[in-house]
């Protein structure tokens, strides 16, 4: 993940996962991503979005 964040010259990175995917949520927070939103999908899965500014 750090490799991707380092090689791409973007000002903003966005990711999303399921709210219940605790390992992914922890990873994104550890890498400096901040939660931006939560929403329900049409399939009954609650999602969470994160953003990181470079």
pTM over 0.95: no
In angstroms, the first-to-last Cα distance of the chain is 14
How confident is residue 5, by pLDDT bands cut at 50, 70 and 90? very high
Residues in contact with 54: Cβ distance below 8 Å, sequence separation at least 6, in sequence order: 5, 9, 10, 11, 12, 13
- Give the pLDDT mean for 17-32: 98
Q: Which H/E stretch holds residue 27? A: helix 22-30
Give the chain's length.
54
Angle formed at CA 40 by CA 37 and CA 46, multiple of 5 degrees:
80
């Amino acid at each position: 993940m750090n490799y991707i964040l380092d090689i791409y010259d973007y000002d903003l990175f966005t990711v999303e996962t399921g709210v219940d995917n605790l390992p992914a949520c922890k990873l994104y927070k550890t890498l400096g991503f901040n939660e931006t939103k939560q929403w329900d999908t049409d399939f009954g899965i609650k999602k969470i979005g994160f953003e990181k500014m470079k």
